[in-house]
C-alpha cells in the first residue's frame, strides 16, 4: 500500500506500533505502555513528537487499523483505533 517496513527497534523512524486485543476489548493505556519496554520506549511514544524533526507522533494502534486499512485499500485515520490516545 505505502511501503511500510517492520522494525525490531523503537526509535524516531517508527511511525506506528500495532498491538493486539480481543474484539471489543479496551486495554488500559498503562498496560499497553508497559508492554512496549522500559522508560525510554514509553517516553518516546508519549513525548517523542517534541524531539522529532517533523513533530511526528508514534501511533500505537490496535490491529483493527491495519486490517481495516488493508481491506479498504488505503490508510485509515488512526484516531478511532488508538491503543494509547494522545494527550
Report which DSSP code applies to 14: -
Q: What dihedral angle (degrees, nearest 10) is formed by the CA atoms of 10, 41, 64, 2?
A: -30
Sign of the CA dihedral 9, 70, 65, 59?
positive
Parts of the chain with a pLDDT under 50:
none
Give me the pLDDT at residue 26, please: 82
Give me the pLDDT at residue 86, please: 80
Give me the pLDDT at residue 1, please: 57
Q: How far apart are CA 43 and CA 47, in angstroms?
A: 5
Which residue shows C-alpha cell 527497534? 9
Q: Is residue 9 one of the residues assigned to a domain? A: no
Domain count, the chain: 1
Q: Is residue 71 one of the residues assigned to a domain? A: yes
Q: Is residue 10 one of the residues assigned to a domain? A: no
Q: Is residue 68 one of the residues assigned to a domain? A: yes
Q: Is residue 69 one of the residues assigned to a domain? A: yes
Give me the pLDDT at residue 2, please: 66
Q: Is residue 6 one of the residues assigned to a domain? A: no
- What residue numbers bound the domain in which 30 lies? 16-81
Amino acid at each position: 500500500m505505502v511501503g511500510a517496513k517492520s522494525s525490531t527497534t523503537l526509535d524516531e523512524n517508527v511511525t506506528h506500533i500495532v498491538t493486539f486485543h480481543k474484539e471489543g476489548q479496551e486495554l488500559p493505556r498503562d498496560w499497553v505502555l508497559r508492554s512496549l519496554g522500559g522508560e525510554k520506549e514509553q517516553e518516546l511514544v508519549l513525548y517523542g513528537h517534541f524531539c522529532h524533526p517533523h513533530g511526528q507522533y508514534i501511533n500505537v494502534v490496535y490491529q483493527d487499523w491495519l486490517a481495516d486499512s488493508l481491506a479498504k485499500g488505503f490508510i485509515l485515520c488512526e484516531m478511532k483505533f488508538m491503543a494509547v490516545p494522545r494527550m
